[in-house]
């Protein structure tokens, strides 16, 4: 794939830049698309994703909003129902709680409540995750909560390709799509095909093939999991790494194909363990692939504490490569 990209030309870019280009591309391609949220205009976005876009596209397309998540999310829902294609930026998942009523009670239910007379083709982007020492109130990973809700789709782009490509596909969806961008990913850099474009949003991806154990993850934990897989390979354990990409709906087929091959699964999820997305994935494996299993399914989740502020405690509270390695070995009986 890399060679192919080289032939077609690649650019050195960052995750942040890839998201920005995705927004630019959407605004230029479709006149119904606009971005709105707190500080997305003059300030350029809390994570500098929309820097320069106000100057390029003007205040009609890049709209600063008051500090009222419920209000502007509701405005986005209304605009979508009326025919526009809004991208609402909720800054972080922590503040999305103030818009939860709009997302859960309105966006997710309108098609059902209106007897299919209205849909909400809305995209809501937000940052998620811990790791930046933002303390207990600003370090949540609640994408698993949102994945609980019928009527919406939930995406977790972890790579440059997905940061660049998921937005356009999400905007084509007739129903609300939530995109969760892990805060630790904005600064990752790499090569992206110069002509990178839309990608599917309904398939999980095998990021590293292996035969001994399936490590199933998404978002910010993908890179820690790949690091763990490299370390495991040095000890002769070939781990297969699955990037879920879409948390709702889940791509059961890719998960079950992998687990059927490796017969062992460990799920890595930055959410808290109890009632986590990891629990859902594990239960689906039990429902659909029980007879293929060789070991209890393992989970590496966040510790069940408010995320601490001190760096060493924050690091200890969320999934890290050594825990993933230990869980993979336990699944192989090599603890």
Partner 1 sequence: MVDFRMPSLGADMEAGTLVEWLVKPGDWVKRGDIVAVVETQKGAIEIETFETGQVEGILVELNSKVPVGTPLARIRTEGEAKAAPVAALSPAAAPVISPPAPAAAPPAIPPAPAPVAPPPSPAVAPAAPARTRISPAARRLAEARSVDPATVTGSGPGGAITYADVARRAAEPTPSSERKRAPTLDLDAMRTAIAAAMARSKREIPHYYLAHQVDVTACEHWLSQKNAALPPDNRLLIGALTLKATALAAHSFPAFNGFYRDNKYEPSEAVHVGVAIAIRGGGLAAPALHDADQLSLDDLMSRMRDLVQRTRAGRIRSSEISDSTITVTSLGERGVETLYGIIYPPQVAIVGFGKVLVRPWVVDGAIGPRSVITITLSADHRVSDGHAGALFLTEIGKLLQEPDKL
User: Catalytic amino acids?
Assistant: 69, 138
Q: Which of 296, 306, 310, 322 binds partner 1 (CB under 8 A)?
A: 296
For residue 224, the minimal CB distance to partner 1 (Å) is 22
Tell which one of 9, 150, 234, 290 touches partner 1 (CB under 8 A). Answer: 290
Cβ neighbour number for residue 91 with a 10 Å cutoff = 20
Q: Please tell me whether the peptide bond between 249 and the residue prior to it is cis, using omega within 30 degrees of 0.
A: yes
Number of residues this chain uses to bind partner 1 (CB under 8 A): 14
CB of 274 to partner 1, least distance (A): 21
190 φ/ψ angles, rounded to the nearest 5 degrees: 175, -170
331 makes contact with partner 1 (CB under 8 A): yes
Token representation of residue 85: 């294609």
End-to-end Cα distance, the chain: 36
User: Residues 314-326, buried b or exposed e (16+ Cβ, 10 A)?
Assistant: beebbbbbebbbb
- What mask of x and - would describe binding to partner 1 in positions 241 to 280, judged by CB under 8 A? ----------------------x-----------------
Binds partner 1 (CB under 8 A): choice among 12, 116, 236, 312: 236
Sign of CA dihedral 22, 267, 183, 103: positive
Name the percent of the chain in helix, strand, coil, to the closest 5. 40, 20, 40
Binding residues among 32-71 for partner 1 as defined by CB under 8 A = none
Stretch that binds partner 1, among 102-110, 175-183, 247-255, 292-300 (CB under 8 A): 292-300
Stretch that binds partner 1, among 135-143, 200-208, 268-276, 326-334 (CB under 8 A): 326-334
> Exposed e or buried b for every residue in 207-238, given b needs 16+ CB within 10 A?
bbebebbbbbbbbbbbbbbbebbebbeeeebe
d(CA 312, CA 309): 9
Nearer to partner 1, 85 or 264 (CB): 264
User: Per CB under 8 A, which region of 60-68, 137-145, 186-194, 288-296 contacts partner 1?
Assistant: 288-296
- Cβ at position 322, least distance to partner 1 in Å: 14
DSSP letter at 102 equals I
| Residue 333 C-beta: closest distance to partner 1, Å | 4
322 sits near partner 1 (criterion: CB under 8 A): no
Nearest Cα to Cα of residue 85 among 15, 146, 33, 149: 33
Q: Does 234 bind partner 1 (CB under 8 A)?
A: no
Q: Binding segment for partner 1 among 25-33, 121-129, 182-190, 324-332 (CB under 8 A)?
A: 324-332
Q: What's the closest the beta carbon of residue 296 comes to partner 1, in angstroms?
A: 7
Write out the two tokens for 268: 């890595």
Residues that bind partner 1 (CB under 8 A): 236, 263, 290-296, 330-333, 335
């Amino acid at each position: 794939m890399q060679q192919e990209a080289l032939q077609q030309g690649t650019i050195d870019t960052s995750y942040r830049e890839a998201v920005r280009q995705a927004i630019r591309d959407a605004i230029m391609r479709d006149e119904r698309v606009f971005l709105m949220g707190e500080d997305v205009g003059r300030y350029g976005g809390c994570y500098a994703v929309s820097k320069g876009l106000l100057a390029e596209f003007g205040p009609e397309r890049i709209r600063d909003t008051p500090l009222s998540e419920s209000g502007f999310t509701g405005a986005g829902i209304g605009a979508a129902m009326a025919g526009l294609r809004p991208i609402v930026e909720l800054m972080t998942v922590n503040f999305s709680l103030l818009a939860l009523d709009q997302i859960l009670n309105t966006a997710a239910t309108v098609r059902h409540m209106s007897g299919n007379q209205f849909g909400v083709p809305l995209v809501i982007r937000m940052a998620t995750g811990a790791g930046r020492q933002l303390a207990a109130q600003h370090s949540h990973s609640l994408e698993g909560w949102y994945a609980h809700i019928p009527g919406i789709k939930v995406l977790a782009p972890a790579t440059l390709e997905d940061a660049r490509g998921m937005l356009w596909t999400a905007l084509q969806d007739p129903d609300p799509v939530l995109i969760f961008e892990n805060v630790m990913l904005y600064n990752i850099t790499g090569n992206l095909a110069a002509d990178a474009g839309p990608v599917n949003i309904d398939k999980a991806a095998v990021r590293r093939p292996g035969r001994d154990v399936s490590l199933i993850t998404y978002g910010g934990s993908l890179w820690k999991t790949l690091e763990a897989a490299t370390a495991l390979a040095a000890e002769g354990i070939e781990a297969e790494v699955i990037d879920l990409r879409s948390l709702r709906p889940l791509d059961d087929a890719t998960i079950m194909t992998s687990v059927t091959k490796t017969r062992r699964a460990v799920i890595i999820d930055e959410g808290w363990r109890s009632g986590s997305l990891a629990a859902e994935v594990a239960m689906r494996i039990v429902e659909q692939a029980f007879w293929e299993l060789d070991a209890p399914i393992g989970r590496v989740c966040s510790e069940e504490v408010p995320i601490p502020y001190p760096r060493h405690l924050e690091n200890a509270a969320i999934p890290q490569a050594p825990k993933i390695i230990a869980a993979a070995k336990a699944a192989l009986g090599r603890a």
